[in-house]
Amino acid sequence: MGFLDIRNVTKSYGSVEVLHRVDLEAEEGEFLVLVGPSGCGKSTLLNMIAGLESITSGEIAIAGQVVNHVHPSKRNIAMVFQSYALYPNMTVAGNITFGLEMHGVPRPERERALRDVARLLQIEHLLDRKPSQLSGGQRQRVAMGRALVRDPAVFLFDEPLSNLDAKLRVDMRTEIKKLHQRLGRTIVYVTHDQIEAMTLSTRIAVMNAGHVQQFGTPKEIYDRPANLFVAGFMGSPSMNLIPATVAVEDGTPVALIRDEGGEAHRLRLSQPSLAAWAGREIVLGIRPEAITDPDGADRQSRNIQPLRARVSVIEPAGSDTFVATPLGGREVIARMRADATARPGEVFDFAVNMDKAVAFDPVTEARIP
């Protein structure tokens, strides 16, 4: 049992079930991220934790107390919304302390809490301003301050950075991570941005169509995605998913992948159990960084396989160069060093780290164990 327990929870609107038997838990001090595409149910689940949405079936417990029928104000949670939800006629100080005032907290205690939070978020110089006088990042800090001042057991963040520009999102992401490290409070954070999910979380729940597709650490989800949806959703660029046929040569399973000319390329698989799939189709999953030039290959790997293929597109990206090559009817992306010598239209010698490859059943879409 965790500090936050979500047990067999469903949510229906009439006859339509939008969340299907969700089971998740977060330990005290953990940073749990709910990630998935729009409409997957992640914000609905967050609102159920907050008490803003009713639970159709199942239980949600915080610190051992079932809160299904507990009023939101009694759950000891604080929520930061995507829209900031600041009162435009109040100063920053007023916005931050309004909740404490409504709960009858004495003025000296409110002012002390305000000073502490303002110092923590570095917004002391903004306390007398109105929200209209603030930038997007400053408004987000004020919204966070309003949550922090209450000192709750659980913080809930509903896509708090989606209204910010790209650079500010990166800066605020770092600030939220620092904040979690300082406070050690339990956080549940909703986002559709898988980079936010990977960088902020201690554990991630990947959701799609109301189902939890996989629940695990960022490393588990990145290295061992449970199915094709998780493999394609998590990672930027996403995992290459290449149709292949399994053969067995000298007792070792091999993936046969055809290029645009129909020639079969052989890549020795690192997973002995795939020998049982001889003659059958699989989807081979390989992250872009596992495909590079021979000099850039991982020296610790025991299974680097050569692959000679035509380069179709080069995309310089500063510290990296992304190289595309047509394989298995797909554009396969390799991630190389900035000084990679590959050229469009030329045949290039790639090196593929097959220790990093995973295989999926094309029928069930589940990873083959």
Strand extents, DSSP E, 287-329: 291-292, 304-310, 313-317, 320-327
Report the pLDDT value the prediction gives residue 273, as an integer from 0 to 100: 95
pLDDT of residue 2 exceeding 80: no
**By mean pLDDT, which of 6-20, 72-86, 224-238, 315-329 is the weakest?**
72-86
Instruction: Provide mean pLDDT across the span 308-337.
Output: 93
Report the pLDDT value the prediction gives residue 161, as an integer from 0 to 100: 84
Instruction: Provide mean pLDDT across the span 336-359.
Output: 92
The rounded distance, in Å, linking the Cα atoms of 359 and 366 is: 9
Local confidence band at 287 (pLDDT 50, 70, 90 cut-offs): very high
Instruction: Provide mean pLDDT across the span 262-275.
Output: 94
pLDDT of residue 313 exceeding 70: yes
The rounded distance, in Å, linking the Cα atoms of 328 and 343 is: 21
Closest C-alpha to 110, from 119, 122, 98: 98
Report the pLDDT value the prediction gives residue 1, as an integer from 0 to 100: 64
- In three-state secondary structure terms, 57 is strand
Residue predicted with more confidence, 175 or 274: 274
- How much is the mean pLDDT over the chain? 92
